[in-house]
Homo-oligomer: A and B are copies of this chain.
Amino acid sequence: MPVATVKYYLREGLLPPGERTSPNQARYSPAHVQRLRLIKALTEVGGLPLASVGAVLGAIDDHETPHQTMGVVQQELAGEPPKVSDEAAEWATKLLKDVALRTGWKWHEPESREVGNLVAALATAKELGHEKLADRLDEYVGLAMRVAELDVEVVTGLTSFDRIIEAGLVATVLGDRIFAGLRHLAQEQLSREVLGRPPGD
């Protein structure tokens, strides 16, 4: 990693200062190196802007329970939900509330940005006339539960706060990328037969 990048992160407060050993030298600990890796993971793989990375690292350093910290992190990761029509948004919200009821999930009122983004994505599918995806929502939710169970198993057993939060970030930021990549590969394998000829053949 270029020295200029490290200096930039120091100026932006993303990285705590190293231990000064002479007027123009500082020593950095393994914790610094790990934090640099985390920033790189969030920006380059997760695609987060540096301002969001700052907010995420701030939430980590605030040291509430891992669950609360992950809530802040999710909120930062989610970004501002895009605008959709009221009609489509109401349809999607009702759909999700019904699923939450059937699944036994606690529903948040007022909604989080995470839920706002989910509503917007479902509403957009409906606006495009592709609400068939929503007919299978219960099945998608069942599979999302199974994936989340795996995610939580990966985190369980870790004992240090930083390691738990890191693992949580890995499971969400990297985990979303990894799962999406696997899903696309699987789609490609499965759809070669169905979509590999002109429609109507």
A residues sitting closer than 8 Å to B (CB atoms) are 34, 37-38, 40-41, 44-45, 65-67, 70-71, 74, 82-83, 100, 105-106, 114-115, 117-118, 120-122, 124-125, 127-130, 132-133, 136, 139-141, 143-156, 158-161, 164, 166-168, 170-172, 174-192, 194-200
A–B complex contacts, Cβ < 8 Å, 9 sampled: A44-B120, A65-B197, A124-B174, A141-B182, A144-B186, A149-B190, A160-B199, A164-B195, A176-B176
A200 CA to B120 CA, complexed, in Å: 39
Q: Given A133-B175, A139-B150: A70 and B195 within 8 A (CB)?
A: yes
Residues in B whose Cβ lies below 8 Å from that of A194: 152, 155-156
Once the chains are docked, how many angstroms separate the CA of A125 from the CA of B190?
A: 27
Q: Which residue of the partner chain, among B45, B155, B159, contacts A124 with CB atoms under 8 Å?
A: B45
Given A130-B154, A172-B184, 13 new contacts (CB under 8 A): A40-B82, A41-B124, A44-B124, A105-B186, A118-B181, A121-B177, A124-B174, A130-B170, A132-B154, A140-B178, A143-B146, A148-B186, A148-B187
With CB as the reference atom, state the residue of chain B lying closest to A66: B195
Contact status B45-A152, CB under 8 Å: no
The 3 A-B residue pairs with the shortest CB-CB distance, nearest first, are A118-B181, A148-B186, A44-B82
Given contacts A118-B178, A166-B128, A177-B117, A70 and B199 within 8 Å (CB-CB) = no
B114 touches A199 (CB 8 A): no
Copies in the complex: 2
Residue contact B184 to A67, C-beta cutoff 8 Å = no
Q: How far is the CB of A149 from chain B (nearest CB, A)?
A: 6
In Å, the complex CA distance between A176 and B180 comes to 6
A85 vs chain B, min Cβ distance (A): 10
